Structure formats: C-alpha cells, structure tokens
A and B are shown apart, each in its own frame.
Chain A
Amino acid sequence: MSFPISSGLLDAMVLSVVNRNDTYGYEITQMIRKAVDVSESTLYPVLRRLQKGGMLETYDKEFMGRNRRYYRITSVGSNALGDYRDEWCDHKAKVDSILLGVDEKL
C-alpha cells in the first residue's frame, strides 16, 4: 500500500529540492520520485502554483543548444519552507507516537 501525498506536502518537498540548489523541471521530478510515486504531470501544477505564489522564480539557461528553465527559491519560498518543516516535524512526532508507540509528550 502507499500513503497518499497531500498537495501541501508536495509543495514543501519541491521547495526543499529547489532550496538545495537551482534546478530544472526534469531533475526536480526525478528527485521527488525517489520518495513518492508522482508523475511529471502531477508536479507541473505544483511548480506553476509555487511560481505564481512568488515562492519560486525562473530563469532560462542555455543547455546543449536549447533553453532550460531553472527554478530558484525566493525569500517568500524559503520562509514557507521553514514553516512547512516545523509543521512536518510536529505532524511526524504525533503520528510516530501513535503508529510506532513512541512515548513522547505531545
């Protein structure tokens, strides 16, 4: 079985990938696909949404005689990523406490 990935989590993962270094569409999808089973088609709206929300910005760079669109994280984006990470830790700890029986004060 697989766990469904929420759209918020996908946003966060894309932001995190771009946060490491500027990268392009295909590479982002390959990175995300190491963890979850999503297609490039699922990620396109995510990238577009983050771009429109001012969290990512793009620039074109030449690669083998054609243009490649690179994504770069903005300050708005890295703030959002920070929030996502905090929320994720909180969420993960709560789920772990039940699923794994980790006895932790919530």
Chain B
Amino acid sequence: MRREEFISELRSRLERLPGEELEAALDYYNEIFLDAGEDKEEETAESLGSIDEIARNIYVENGIDPDGRPTFILDERRGESRQEDIPQQRAYAPAQTGAAPQQSFKASNFLLLLCLFPLWFPLLIVGFVFTFVFFILGFVLEIVFVGAGTAMVIGGIISLFTVPPAGLMSLGAGLILVALFILTFKGVFKGTISFFVSAINKIVKTAHNILFGGAAANG
C-alpha cells in the first residue's frame, strides 16, 4: 500500500476522533512514511500493521469505544494500555474485533411498556408542556427586559432636560434592564434548546434500553 492510500484509509477509520487528535495521528504516520523513504512505502505500510488495529488502539487510547457502543467500558481501556506489548501480543483478539454487541428485542418489555402506556404517556406530555411553558416564560421575560429597558432609556433621555434627577434614574434603570437582557439572552435560548435535545436523547436511550436490554448490560 502506498503512503497516500494508507493515510486516506486511516483518515476514514478515525472519523470519530476530535480534529486535533486526528491531525496529530495522520501527521505522525505521514512523517513515518516520508522519513522511511519514498522507495520503501510498501515495506513501511507492511511494518505498520493492520490499519483497523491502529485505529482501534488510537480510539482506545483516547477513551473512545472502537465499536461505537453507547457505554464504553473503562476497564477495557485500562487493560489495553497496560498490556501494550509486542504486536503479536495485543490485548485484542481477532475474534473480539468482529463481535458486535448483542442486542435482542425484548417482547415482554415491549408488552409491559404498551400496557403502561396510559401511565407514562401523560407524564411525558406534562413534562414537555412544563418545559415549553418555561421556555415561553423565559422568552417573555427577555422581551420585557429589552422593551421596558429601551423605553426607560428613551424616557430618561427626554426627561433629563425637564426633571434631571428623574431622568437620570430612568436612564440608569433602563440600562440595567438592557444589560440584563444582553447577559441572559444567550443563556436562556441555548439552555432551553440543549435541555430539549438532551431530554429527547435520554428518553430515546431509556426506551432503547428497555426494549433491547441495553448494550451496557450485554456488551
């Protein structure tokens, strides 16, 4: 295998790595090829070993599960990094490489979930309505901040010429409200959206675990 082919194969297997880690790994392997010499690319690729194995080790070293299971077994990682020996003695047996986490559909759990539908469905709805109401409240509050703030600032400037102390007070209070709006605006929106996303994620995950027994238990 030539250098460019090797690098692009490695890149495609390391997709789930954070950008910086990915670049560091690719730079390293690219350099090894270049330093070993252009006429030795085939030999170099052979001595580097299987690209799958390289990718697995890099994932494990970064605390990412190579098989993409939702829960990563930390023990596996510790065991791996302690036992890094000569290539023939890698902790990963080939049989383990191909083993996908076993997941079987649990019909009994599905029935149970179906029977309990009148119980959990309203709860789910109530939860969502509550979150939605909070979201609306936050939104209204932001509008009040910015609306009242702007009005007080404008009012303050106008009355500054007629009743200076009252004008100053109004101007100050208005600025405080506008500042509150600026400070909380991003948090309220970002917080609500990320809360929604994580809530949906959690619900889907829980449902998946109940129905399929969960990879954590089997994997």
- Name A residues whose Cβ lies closer than 8 Å to a Cβ of B: 2, 4-7, 10, 24-27, 29, 36-42, 44-49, 66, 68-69
Contact with A along B32-43 (1 / 0, CB 8 A): 101110000000
CB A22 to nearest CB in B, in angstroms, measures 15
Chain B interface secondary structure, helix, strand, loop or mixed? helix
Q: How many residues of B contact A (CB 8 A)?
A: 26
B14-29 residues at the A interface, CB under 8 angstroms? 24-25, 27-29
Cβ contact within 8 Å between A39 and B49: yes
In the complex the two chains form, what is the Cα distance from A41 to B89 in whole Å?
Answer: 14
Residues from chain B with Cβ under 8 Å of A66 in the complex: 34
Cβ contact within 8 Å between A7 and B61: no
| A-B contacts at CB below 8 angstroms, number | 72
Interface with A: B50-58, B186-194, B205-213, which one?
A: B50-58
Chain A interface secondary structure, helix, strand, loop or mixed? helix
Cβ contact within 8 Å between A44 and B25: yes
Q: A36-B86, A44-B28 are in contact. List 18 more A-B contacts (CB 8 A).
A: A4-B85, A5-B85, A6-B85, A24-B35, A25-B32, A26-B36, A38-B87, A39-B87, A41-B54, A41-B87, A42-B84, A44-B29, A44-B54, A45-B61, A45-B81, A46-B84, A48-B61, A69-B31
In the complex the two chains form, what is the Cα distance from A5 to B29 in whole Å?
Answer: 22
Residues from chain A with Cβ under 8 Å of B25 in the complex: 44, 48
Residue of A nearest to B48 (CB): A41
